[in-house]
Amino acid sequence: MLAKQAENAQEPCRRRVMESRRAYKVELDPTEAQRRLLRRHAGAARFAWNWGLARRIAEYRATGKSSRAMEQHRQLNALKKTQFPWMYQVSKCAMQEALRDLDRAFDAFYRRLEGKRQGKHKGKVGFPRFKSRKRGLGSFRLTGSIRVEEGRIRLPRLGWIRLKERGYIPTDRHILSATVKEEAGRWFVSVLVTEEIAVEEATGPAVGVDLGVNALATCSDGRVFENPRSLPRHEKKLKRLYRQLSRRRRGGHNWEKTRKKISRLHYRIGCIRRDALHKATSAIVAKTKPPQERPAVVVIENLNVAGMLQNHRLAGAVADASFGELRRLLSYKASWYGVRLMAADRSYPSSKRCSACGSVRPERPSGRLCARSVERSWTAT
């Protein structure tokens, strides 16, 4: 028996190679001239989205049908020389990719609409909306000739732009696209690449994860990941800034200064939240440990987050905890590190079932636990 166990211990872990798409996000360090070009590209992408959406609505009202992205791009090119000559100053990819994004938005809208008719989708169907500069400069995506070096990146029609982080984006990968986005006055680039990942199947003990508001995640092995509560920590300052904004003259210089302060504070809140989520999920899948120490299975709760948000006393705390984002991060990290992710059924009595004998605690008709019967049942086991 011991010899067989030793032989099994010496067997190499199962290893497979999978091709994956991965995005690397880095902050840009552009010059003032490059900032103007970035704003111009973001404005062109926003204009193409709004132009395509208005044209689709008009075509559907007139004929009952609407054109797709490539057809709309040909129509826009035909009008570029006479009506929109300023478009020659930016890359054509910005407008083309914006129209493709509009295609995906309509496909998702029709999919949700069909689910609503069949009773499978709950909530709003979400018809695509027009984009406004008041909600931020937005983003744009570029394809084609994109090159990355250790401290800079070259984008079409923008040239070489310095990066604030050196050596993070791999230089030997096939680049599919680069998405540039403005957040709180900062410009970021997200480079999408294809790469082969060698995945070694994890063989460690299974881990159960209990999600909560007080503690973000509590694992069955005793580890507890605290909730940073990024929004409640800055709520007082946010209220003060919003009160200050309401007293400013809309559109004035001081109003714009206060608006930028609010934008930067929201960005900081999001960074704190994302940092805690990434640290917790990376620790749960044990990304830095060998396969023998990584959990073979991670089981999380399948929470009804939409129902929890209906409770006005818990809605803010539940939204700040970001259970959906935590599950999304766990999903792709588990696939990268050979961990199997499972979601426990909502009706499974995990809190009432004994981990040793499997018996379930009895309940009163009201659904709440009866202390005397619970004590009797657990004492008997």
pLDDT in tens, 199-215: 889 988 999 998 888 89
Closest CA to 340 of 207, 222, 210: 207
> What is the residue-averaged pLDDT of the chain?
87
Which position has the token pair 């027009």? Answer: 130
Backbone CA torsion sign across 39, 42, 46, 47: positive
Instruction: Give bridge partners of residue 139 from the DSSP assignment.
Output: 181
pLDDT for the residue numbered 374:
34
SS3 of the chain: helix, strand, coil, percent, to 5: 45, 20, 35
Q: Examine the pLDDT at 62 and tell me if it is beyond 80.
A: yes
**Top-confidence residue, 101 or 309:** 101
pLDDT for the residue numbered 11:
44
pLDDT for the residue numbered 77:
93
Q: Examine the pLDDT at 344 and tell me if it is beyond 60.
A: yes
CA distance 147 to 153: 6
CB 17 within 8 A of CB 198: yes
Q: Pinpoint the alpha helices (H) of 67-219.
A: 69-80, 92-117
| pTM check: above 0.85 | no
Q: Examine the pLDDT at 328 and tell me if it is beyond 50.
A: yes
Q: Examine the pLDDT at 329 and tell me if it is beyond 70.
A: yes
Provide the pLDDT confidence category of residue 13 given band limits of 50, 70 and 90: low
Percent of the chain clearing pLDDT 90 (strictly above): 61
> Average pLDDT, stretch 78-87?
92
Provide the pLDDT confidence category of residue 367 given band limits of 50, 70 and 90: very low
pLDDT for the residue numbered 198:
85
Provide the pLDDT confidence category of residue 363 given band limits of 50, 70 and 90: low
CB 205 within 8 A of CB 296: yes
Instruction: Fill in the DSSP letter of residue 169.
Output: S
Percent of the chain clearing pLDDT 70 (strictly above): 89
pLDDT for the residue numbered 71:
94
Lowest mean pLDDT, pick from 35-39, 108-112, 302-306: 302-306
